[in-house]
Amino acid sequence: MITETILIQILENVLGVKNLRRDAKFLDIGGNSLNLIEILKQIKDRLGTTPSPRLFFDKQRATISAISAAIDAQLGAPQQPQTASSAG
């Protein structure tokens, strides 16, 4: 759930949308390849991993919930966000 919350924060910030739901799809909320670059950078900064860009463009599974689950699977388990002092 932590990853999902962080992803929602990042998407709301980068895309300029508010009150995103976990079933919102990346393309439906205004996501595109240009803003995905910033989104991936922020995910890397906050979670320490970079998910495949393909996750965001899968028309069937590109929901916030599914993308968050894929990030958690990539990490091996839900992670705590990095703080400025631990980001090294």
Q: What is the CATH number of the domain that holds 19?
A: 1.10.1200.10
Note the pLDDT tens digit of each residue in 29-78: 999 999 999 999 999 999 999 999 999 998 888 899 999 999 999 998 54
In this structure, is residue 88 part of a structural domain?
A: no
Q: In a 3-state reduction of DSSP, which class is residue 49? A: coil
In this structure, is residue 71 part of a structural domain?
A: yes
In this structure, is residue 38 part of a structural domain?
A: yes
**Residue ranges making up the domain that contains 45:** 2-75
According to the model, what pLDDT value does residue 24 have? 96
CA dihedral 14, 15, 17, 21 (to 10 degrees): -90
Contact assessment for residue 10 and residue 46, using Cβ atoms and an 8 Å cutoff:
yes
Backbone angles phi, psi at 80, to 5 degrees: -80, 145
Q: Which pTM value belongs to this model?
A: 0.82
In this structure, is residue 36 part of a structural domain?
A: yes
Q: Where are the alpha helices (DSSP H) in 16-62?
A: 33-47, 54-57
Looking at the structure of the chain, the number of domains it has is: 1
Contact assessment for residue 17 and residue 31, using Cβ atoms and an 8 Å cutoff:
no
